[in-house]
């Protein structure tokens, strides 16, 4: 498995390393990311560029981060704030087969917890989805709560991967902030699942305060990313002067509340985005620079 920091090189080189370390054949990788195998081969040779979505999907199925694929490091800063290492999936010293089994447990559990709820899902359910025995699941994760903690880290990684792959190419601060919001909407099956994991995390923290620390680190990264984009827009003059921390709090609080309304059927995803975009245009964007995405 590639390390968190690798000497600078080409993205195709790191992609090949990620595939070799994943324990999956290249044909299966192509299938999982929805890419024709011949196109994947061309991208790995450097004769075709990976697009942002392919980089995100490749990072997901191989277990590395999009940041590492693009830059060779998980710690590189850019358009989005890297999460602390403790909030990314835990790295274990194990062979490729064991790493693949551990990753499979996390990915299958992520969907099960998101769709059925933490309290409903049993280790036997996870084992069945992974084609393993319950004893095998317990070998990697002694308790269900440990699986859920790793599932939360997986959710942080998914969001980080999308943001790294997409935002570095958007130079306008206003459009970059709006694109960030779009990337974090509870849209599609995966988007709703990711939000479900966060909502369940909030509920657990409310009942079990001992889990508050992990939640705080993950959420702080999200708020810091918004804050950094607002501060960047203020420096460029495309966003109004003001306290960026307060504005970031306004945006993230609005996201949280509207997202809950979407998951409970009171709003659509489009209505959620329109509300937030309207707030950004009315409150944050410098009037003469105000722009709207199509």
Report pLDDT for 289.
45
Top pLDDT among 85 and 21 is at: 21
Looking up residue 72, the CATH number of its domain turns out to be 1.10.260.40
Q: Give the contacts of 229 (CB within 8 A, at least 6 positions apart).
A: 79, 173, 176, 177, 180
pLDDT at 38 over 70: yes
Domain that includes residue 156, residue range: 77-289
Which of these three, 47, 76, 105, is where a domain ends?
A: 76
Q: What are phi and psi of 5, to 5 degrees?
A: -125, 125
Which residue's entry shows tokens 């902030």? 177
Per-residue pLDDT for 2 more than 60?
no
Are 220 and 230 contacting, i.e. CB atoms less than 8 angstroms apart? no
Classify residue 124 by burial, with Cβ atoms within 10 Å: 0-12, 13-18, 19+: exposed
Q: Name the average pLDDT for the chain.
A: 88
Residue 12 has pLDDT above 60, yes or no: yes
Q: Taking residues 77-82, report their average pLDDT.
A: 63
Residue-level pLDDT at 197: 95
Residues 6+ apart with CB under 8 A from 109: 121, 126, 129, 147, 148, 150, 151
> What pLDDT sits at residue 230?
96
How many angstroms separate the CA atoms of 68 and 14, rounded? 8
Residue 42, domain member (yes or no) = yes
Confidence of residue 77 (pLDDT cuts 50, 70, 90): low
- Kindly state whether residues 242 and 179 are assigned to the same domain: yes
Q: How far apart are CA 280 and CA 160, in angstroms?
A: 22
Based on the domain organization, do 54 and 91 belong to the same domain? Answer: no
The predicted structure's pLDDT at residue 80: 67
Residues 19 and 135 in one domain: no
Helix (H) or strand (E) holding 220: helix 212-236
Residue 48 placed within a domain: yes
Which pLDDT band, with edges at 50, 70 and 90, does 190 fall under? very high
208 CB-near residues (< 8 Å, 6+ apart): none
Over residues 19-32, mean pLDDT: 92
| CATH code of residue 282 | 1.10.357.10
| Angle at alpha carbon of residue 39, lines to 34 and 44, rounded to 5° | 105
- Give the C-alpha separation, 269 to 195, whole Å: 12
Contact by Cβ (8 Å): 128, 146 = no
21-30, 99-108, 158-167, 207-216: range with lowest mean pLDDT: 207-216
DSSP label at residue 90: P
Say yes or no: 143 and 122 in one domain: yes
Burial class of residue 185 in the structure, from the number of CB atoms within 10 Å of its CB (0-12 exposed, 13-18 middle, 19+ buried): buried
* Residues 245 and 255 placed together within one structural domain of the fold: yes
What pLDDT sits at residue 211?
A: 64
- pLDDT at position 290 over 60: no
Among 54, 76, 98, the domain-final residue is 76
pTM (2 decimals)?
A: 0.84
Is 161 found in the same domain as 52?
no
- Domain identity same for 64 and 96: no
DSSP class of 211: G
Q: Structurally, how many domains does the chain consist of?
A: 2
Q: Are residues 120 and 233 located together in one domain of the fold?
A: yes
Residue 48 scores a pLDDT above 80: yes
* Distance in angstroms (rounded) separating the CA atoms of residues 48 and 133: 41
Within-domain flag for 294 = no
Asked which of 123-127, 153-157, 203-207, 273-277 is least confident by mean pLDDT, the reply is 203-207
Cα first-last separation, the chain: 41
Same domain, 117 and 233: yes
Q: Which pLDDT belongs to residue 291?
A: 46
* Band of residue 81 on the pLDDT scale cut at 50, 70, 90: low
Residue 138 and residue 10 share a domain: no
The 3-state DSSP class for residue 232 equals helix
Kindly state whether residues 66 and 119 are assigned to the same domain.
no
The residue out of 76, 99, 134 marking a domain boundary is 76
CA dist., res. 78 & res. 163, Å (int)? 10
Domain match, 113 and 248 both: yes
Distance from chain centroid for Cα 219 = 12
- List the structure tokens of 232: 């960047």
Question: What are the pLDDT digits (tens) for 83-139?
Answer: 666 677 777 778 889 989 999 999 999 999 999 999 999 999 999 999 999 999 999
Range scoring the smallest mean pLDDT among 196-205, 240-249, 267-276: 196-205
């Amino acid at each position: 498995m590639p390390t968190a920091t690798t000497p600078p090189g080409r993205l195709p080189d790191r992609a090949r390393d990620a595939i070799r370390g994943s324990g999956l054949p290249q044909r299966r990788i192509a299938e999982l990311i929805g890419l024709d195998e011949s196109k994947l081969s061309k991208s790995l040779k450097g004769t075709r560029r990976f697009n942002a979505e392919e980089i995100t999907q490749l990072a997901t199925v191989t277990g590395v981060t999009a940041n590492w694929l693009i830059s060779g490091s998980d710690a590189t800063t850019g358009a989005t704030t890297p999460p602390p290492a403790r909030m990314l999936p835990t790295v274990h010293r194990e062979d490729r087969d064991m790493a693949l089994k551990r990753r499979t447990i996390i990915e299958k559990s992520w969907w099960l917890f998101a769709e059925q709820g933490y309290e409903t899902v049993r280790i036997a359910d996870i084992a069945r989805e992974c084609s393993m025995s319950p004893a095998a699941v317990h070998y990697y994760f002694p308790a269900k709560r440990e699986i859920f903690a790793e599932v939360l880290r997986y959710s942080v990684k998914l969001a980080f991967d999308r943001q790294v792959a997409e935002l570095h190419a958007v130079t306008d601060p206003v459009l970059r902030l709006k694109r960030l919001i779009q990337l974090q909407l509870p849209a599609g099956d995966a988007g709703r699942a990711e939000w479900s994991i966060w909502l369940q995390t909030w509920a657990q923290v409310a009942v079990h305060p001992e889990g508050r620390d992990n939640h705080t680190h993950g959420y702080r990264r999200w708020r810091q990313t918004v804050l950094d984009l607002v501060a960047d827009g203020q420096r460029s003059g495309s966003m109004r002067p003001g306290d960026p921390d307060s504005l970031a709090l306004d945006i993230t609080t609005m996201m949280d509340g509207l997202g809950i309304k979407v998951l409970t059927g009171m709003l659509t995803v489009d209505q959620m985005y329109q509300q937030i975009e309207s707030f950004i245009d009315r409150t944050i964007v410098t009037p003469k620079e105000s722009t709207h995405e199509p």
